[in-house]
Structure 1
Amino acid sequence: MLNQIPPVIRGLLIANVAIYLLQMMLGDTLTLDFALWPFGEQTGRAPDGSIVTVGFQLWQLVTYGFLHSGLPHLFMNMLALYMLGGAIESALGSRHFLIYYFVCVIGAALAQLVTIEYFTGGFYPTVGASGGVFGVLLAFALLFPREKLILFPIPIPMPAWLFVTLYGAAELFFGVTGTMAGVAHFAHLGGMLGGFVLLQYWRGKLPWKPRNRLTP
């Protein structure tokens, strides 16, 4: 079955599941070094009693996207990646899709850092592949706007463009109002924004033109 999944999607699924298993084995160790932490540093006591200092490091812009807060978090992200990502990888090609995914992950991380630094405050880690997944969702709506999707828990099929518009509007509303605290709503939007800008660049619709225009 795995052989039928496009190579980048397959690699991402395997990597995320494997790293989650490591999280279960090692506890908070991976979170201390590889989750996305806000700018600055904070010192505290680790579960084993040792004193640790945590804070932002450059590699966290990518590594946080392979950590998850629990099995439901992992399952939902991987399910969406599995269901929608294959079509995007086939449309863009594996190389372009890999670049696209990580641009979305990084875009989500930057949005989250800005949100914490200038708006919400606090000092807490961010984890999850949701930034990349929301970028995939945005790409699906742009490349396959008339394909039908279902917005859980509303069992009504709707065109992908409408699905993503409503989902994005809901994320913006929840982020602005502080509803569903603990969810990185602006990171989700940052992933979508990063993906949108990259697709527009590849299509030659920005002032900076790509060497090889992509027309999926």
Structure 2
Amino acid sequence: MSITLILIIVTIAISWYSWSNPSLLDKLLLNPVRVTRHKEYYRFLTSGFVHADFGHLLFNMLSFWFIGEGVEALFRYLFGAQGGLYFLALYLLGIVVSDVPSFLKNRTNSRYNSLGASGGVAAVIFAAILYAPLMDVYLYFAIKMPGFIFGILFLGYSIWQSKKGGGYVNHDAHMFGALFGMVFMALVYPEAVPNFFKQLAGWRLF
């Protein structure tokens, strides 16, 4: 069984169970004040394994499933026996790192909570985009476009929504998870950076 599928199963199980156990959900989600006051740093990671509702969970896990196994296979090809560990680090650190800006921005707001695997999923997607910017990506699983175009739209929308504020979606986590994914890929496989620009140089709209 792939690491991707194991992570999906674990996330579904914990999220599903937490919906009928509010006290567990409360212990796992990211609340910056509780992290600081009680030193509950584990929340940076556990917040990625709980979700607000079924739609939130479904969208994240479908997105992860569509791209995750491909990136996991790529890492095993690039890094051999260590590939699985690299992939796991990408996903889990993506969750943690993507929560840091939200934590800093809301560190005195006791009413702020954040949850969901979006940061980890975005990290995996954007690691793939750096490696293969011309790969086909489907926006909302329907609109086909090259990966780098999707990346530009995704980051632009996330920045705009973050500045706009309001709503219940943590757009900062999306944005910083995506940026972390590219940085991670560039660090563990530096050749991805020049190859990214070589591929873009050969791209033609028609």
The answer to whether the superposition gives a TM-score over 0.5 is: yes
CA distance in 1, matches of 2:135, 2:4: 20
| Equivalent position of 2:48 in the other structure | 65
CA contact (8 A) 2:34 2:40 kept: no
- Tell me how far 1:134 sits from its aligned partner: 0.8
Structure 2 unaligned blocks of 5 or more: 76-82, 192-206
Name the residue aligned to 1:188: 174
Aligned residues: 184
Give the alignment's TM-score, normalised by structure 1. 0.77
Q: What amino acid maps onto 1:194 in structure 2?
A: F
1:9 corresponds in structure 2 to: 4
Q: Tell me if 1:96 matches 2:90.
A: no
Write the deviation string for residues 173-205 of structure 1: whole angstroms up to 9, x where unpaired: 0110125x1110001112112222222221348
Percent of aligned positions that are identical: 26
127, 133, 138: which one pairs with 2:121? 133
Give the drift of 1:38.
Answer: 1.2
Distance 1:55 1:75 in 2: 32
Compared with structure 1, are the counterparts of its residues 65 and 40 closer, same or farther at alpha carbon in structure 2 (3 Å cutoff)?
A: closer
* 1:41, distance to aligned residue in structure 2 (A): 7.7
Q: Is the 8 A contact 1:171 1:188 kept in 2?
A: yes
- Superposed CA RMSD in Å reads 2.3
> Given that residues 36 and 60 in structure 1 are in contact (C-alpha distance below 8 angstroms), is that contact kept between their aligned partners in structure 2?
yes
User: Offset of 1:25 from its aligned partner?
Assistant: 2.9
Ranges in structure 1 where 5+ consecutive residues have no aligned partner: 43-53, 206-216
Q: Is the 8 A contact 2:127 2:184 kept in 1?
A: no
Structure 2: distance between partners of 1:55 and 1:189: 28
Provide the rounded CA distance (Å) in 1 between the counterparts of 2:168 and 2:144.
Answer: 29
Contact 2:33 2:110 in 1 (8 A): no
Structure with the bigger percentage of helix: 2
Corresponding residue number in structure 1 for 2:102: 112
2:112 to 104, 109, 124: 124
Aligned with 1:32 (options 19, 26, 51):
26
